Structure 1
Amino acid sequence: MAHRMRVVFCCAAALSLCCCSRSRTDAPSLVIYVYDSFASEWGPGPELARRFYAKTGYSVQYVVFEDVTRAIHRAIRDQHTPSSRGADLIIGVDQYTLPLAREADLFSPYQPALPLPHALRIDPHNLAVPYDWGYVAFMFNTDAELPEPQRLSDLANPVYAKSIALADPHTNVLGTIFIGWAHTSLGAAWPAFWNTLYRANLLALAPSWSAAYGLFTAGEAALVLSYTTSAAYHLHHDNHTRFKPLLFPEGHPMHIEGISLVKRTKHARVATQFIDFLLSTEAQELLPLTQWMYPANPDVPLPAAFSAVPQPAACVSLSPQMCRAAAAALHASTP
């Protein structure tokens, strides 16, 4: 996102945020569709736009959506409206939302100038170029008068009744990842696990990660689905480690975020310049302390706060198709 450590509630479907509007008169303005926290005052978006303008003379206009799925749906509608300016780029595309865009033939491939680790590849055809990533994990409030869960299946224990906050898997990518994680790790036992979780142990199925995390930081939930890197945020901003990322022996899925080039753009040259800029050290150094995720560029040093982030012993590989199918099955069976 994440992913996004302050609670954001977005009432409008989309709003425009112009950065560095004093561009050269002969230079096109890039239009980038993006999720809300990326373009917020505490996100990396405004400073990235300023640095890109200083480097190239091209301005950036963010069109902000509550999440990337809504941004992709808007871009698909733009395809059928030739008069629409539309987006040149979409930020936040991941391995779970890319299939929606691929079905609509929305993106063009782009091979960035910087070689990236193979493990971060979102798409073999480079329809989404990774810029940050993190391990999905549950955060636990160690001040809660509850035992610390030792594995994923422990979350169905009655001791955690009404103690867990989760982003709704019907509508949220992080929630969808959780369903895929449970399905992969628990096998045939996962429907019963979900049934117990939903009916007894969930405090809330929140509409977004931000809403779920707000319940956790307010002390209403003892556990919340987030990222291991959330620990870095709390060490950096709150100077405490009582909110602890839990590592389970089942392993943890990766969430990789990417930027995609919209096929109908008339400014592909400038748009690809922005992609390469986003992967540069100058841009990537902003991400750890704004996105609270790992930068995709492996040469970027991590801030000291990331020393509080534990590393999972194993990574769980999830199929986006399986995650969507599992989430759809839940949608049919969960009120």
Structure 2
Amino acid sequence: MKRNLNSCLFITALILIYGLNRIPFSSAYSEVESLQDTQLVIYTYDSLLNDPYFNIEGNFSQVSELPENNIQITRFSDANELIVRLEAEKSNPIADVVIGIDNTLIHLIEDKTTVLEPYSPISISQIETNLIQNLDPEQFLIPYDYGIISLYYQNQIINSSTNPELENLTLNSLLTSDLLPMLIVENPKYSSPGLGFLLWIIAVYGDPEINFDGLLESNWRYWWNASRNKITITKSWGDAFNIFFTPEEGKPIMVSYGTSPAYSYCQWADNSTSAVVTQEDDQQNAWLQIEGIGLVKDAPHKENAKQFIDWFLSPALQSEIPEHQWMYPANTEVTLSTCFEESVIHPDEVYRLNDLLSPDLLAKNLADWIDQWEQVIVLGYIDSEADIPSFEFYPTLLGLIILGIPVLIKKKKRE
């Protein structure tokens, strides 16, 4: 009887989650208003080369001789939305180029051959071979930048004196540290660094439900269940960044990149921020993100798109990546500034957890992991081996039922 009750309550909660998930994804803030004179359409996320601002349209116009006003960039709140838009438009493509799908998000594309087509740019020999192999060996996407996911913090508030655990931080010690309530994490359903952090935790703890050991032979769901009522979760990296730099919020640590400290150090010689990764199994561990640029299948302006991709991967543009994008450039011909190299964590300094999660494993489980993460955050983790869910489950579920059902009823009446 107890198992039946648990099942009924769990199904009810899933119905409510499904109803919430039917809310449409947020639209791009810069839609293509008129395509009559457009000669190139680019889809990307809102923070690309945007702080400090780099005029992509103007600079490419000088190289290509396309009028700047005829180059249209549509920016989305995060890279996840790019995939949704590309798949929705695959029978009648609008975009020519897509920028920002990374080595994780590529596995959420149902069939990349229906939305992208392979292209080998002029500078392909200058792009790091291991980046190409770890992003997409078939070259539907070509790497343009990379960096490790890290915990980015303000060291005037958080340092080895206030938080000695920083010297040997682990994901387990983070759970019991006073850092946890100050931590901002992006939602992996919408945010690529948030998704990278989720995979970081999965790679460390493992997943017994698919017989994946990870480093610790545990269960990644435990970490999120223990942290879910303490951390702050935002939809996007931009939202997290705004909170991070708002003193009254009291959230001086966020999921970001090992390159993030260069942002303040290179611009203002300000070394008040630092980055850290966790140490498990006697090594420093982190997830490596590789972002790619791709040619949209049946692009309306294919030749212009190819010219843009060639330019974007050239040393001329790639030299702007470190101090506008705050990531490592994929082109090996770029020389990094001293301030950049002194302030960042290089991916070669850590064990790349990507080695534990093969492309096949990601392709089979990524969508389910994201769904399960959402269930853990909303409901708490229910151990399938136990008769009774965690103590947090029933109050959370009761709250959902009390609050959610009237909302659904009102929505139905409006319809």
Matched position secondary structure for 2:325: coil
2:41 match: 31
> Quick check: 1:194 aligned with 2:224?
yes
Query: Aligned partners of 1:328 and 1:197: how far apart in 2?
Result: 17
Q: Helix, strand or coil for the counterpart of 2:47?
A: helix
Is the 2:183–2:252 contact (alpha carbons within 8 Å) kept by the matching residues of 1?
A: yes
Shift of 1:173: 1.8
Asked if the contact 1:152–1:250 (Cα under 8 Å) also holds between the matched residues in 2, the reply is no
Which residue number in structure 2 is paired with residue 14 of structure 1?
29
Q: TM-score, normalised by structure 2?
A: 0.69
The Cα shift of 1:94 comes to 1.0
- Corresponding residue for residue 353 of structure 2: 316
Matching residue of 1:210 = 238
Residue of structure 2 aligned with 1:229, choices 252, 259, 268: 259
User: In the alignment, is the contact (CA less than 8 A) between 1:43 and 1:291 conserved in 2?
Assistant: no
Deviation digits for residues 303-322 of structure 1 (CA, Å, limit 9, x no counterpart):
22212113333222144434
| Residue 247 (structure 1) shift | 3.3
1:331 to 374, 384, 406: 374
| 8 A Cα contact 1:233 1:305, kept in partner | no
Distance 1:92 1:162 in 2: 30
* Partners of 1:78 and 1:323 in 2: CA distance: 23
Q: Residue by residue, what CA displacement relative to the aligned partner does 1:85-143 show, whole Å, maximum 9, x if unpaired?
A: 60001111112222333526100001122222122121121011111111111012222
Question: Which residue of 129, 132, 139 corresponds with 1:118?
Answer: 129
Name the structure 2 match of 1:7: none
Uncovered stretches (5+) of structure 1, i.e. residues with no partner: 1-10
The amino acid that maps onto 2:237 is W
2:49/2:325 contact within 8 Å kept: no
Deviation at 1:232, TM superposition (A): 0.6
The letter of the residue matching 1:257 is: E
Name the TM-score, length of structure 1 as normaliser: 0.85
Report the AA paired with residue 93 of structure 1.
Answer: I
Does structure 1 residue 58 correspond to structure 2 residue 101? no
CA contact (8 A) 2:150 2:276 kept: yes
Secondary structure at the counterpart of residue 99 of structure 2: strand
Aligned residues: 313
**RMSD over equivalenced CA pairs, Å:** 2.6
Distance 1:233 1:209 in 2: 15
Please list the CA deviations of residues 221-264 of structure 1 after superposition, one character each: whole Å capped at 9, or x if unmatched: 13211001111112123422231111333421111111111112
Structure 1 SS opposite 2:41: strand
| Alignment partner of 1:177 out of 181, 189, 196 | 196
Deviation at 1:292, TM superposition (A): 0.5
Q: Secondary structure at the match of 1:184?
A: helix
Measured in 2, the distance between the counterparts of 1:12 and 1:205 equals 20
SS of equivalent residue, structure 1 residue 260:
strand
Contact 2:79/2:101 (<8 A) preserved: yes
The 3-state SS of whatever aligns with 2:151 is strand
Structure 1: 4+ residue segments shifted above 6 A: none
More displaced 10-residue stretch of structure 1: 92-101 or 163-172 = 92-101
Tell whether 2:303 aligns with 1:269: yes
Distance 1:286 1:158 in 2: 38
Select the residue among 279, 290, 300 that pairs with 2:313. 279
Deviations 1:270-297 (A, max 9, x none): 2111111111111111111110011110
Select between 94-103 and 288-297 the one with higher mean Cα deviation.
Answer: 94-103
Consecutive unaligned residues in structure 2, runs of 5 or more: 1-25, 207-217, 379-415
Alignment match of 1:130 (pick from 143, 158, 180): 143
In the alignment, which of 306, 325, 331 is matched to residue 297 of structure 1? Answer: 331
